[in-house]
Amino acid sequence: ETGVTQTPRHLVMGMTNKKSLKCEQHLGHNAMYWYKQSAKKPLELMFVYSLEERVENNSVPSRFSPECPNSSHLFLHLHTLQPEDSALYLCASSQDRSRPLGNEQFFGPGTRLTVL
């Protein structure tokens, strides 16, 4: 248990569906992250939120839409995905991304997404 939870753990969706991934951190951290991890590929940073403000968007297609309503919750809204979007989606949080000592990231268990 890292203090970061994600739901659902597994999701299968069609290309026309709309779904949302949820992440919650119970650590009092100020920064939250979405990563994509495909088979045999490195972690790809998608979005970063710091104090509920999006500070980084790494050229992610618009079919992925993040939302951070408060510092403890992070969502990833999905619509009209493609089969190549099938991957493990990991959420992470860190205490304070402005300094290395506070930037160690605590990861949730991930959502295994399959797009048919």
Partner 1 sequence: GQNIDQPTEMTATEGAIVQINCTYQTSGFNGLFWYQQHAGEAPTFLSYNVLDGLEEKGRFSSFLSRSKGYSYLLLKELQMKDSASYLCAVYTNAGKSTFGDGTTLTVKP
Residue numbers at the binding site for partner 1 (CB under 8 A): 2, 41-43, 45, 48, 50, 55-56, 90, 97-98, 100-101, 103-110
Query: Minimum distance from CB of 80 to partner 1 (Å)?
Result: 27
**Residue with Cβ nearer partner 1 (2 or 72):** 2
Query: Minimum distance from CB of 44 to partner 1 (Å)?
Result: 8
Residue 69 token pair: 């309503």
Position of tokens 């408060």? 70
Say how far apart CA 10 and CA 31 lie, in whole Å: 24
Say how far apart CA 37 and CA 43 lie, in whole Å: 5
Residues in the chain: 116
Query: Minimum distance from CB of 32 to partner 1 (Å)?
Result: 13
**Residue with Cβ nearer partner 1 (16 or 42):** 42
Say how far apart CA 82 and CA 97 lie, in whole Å: 32
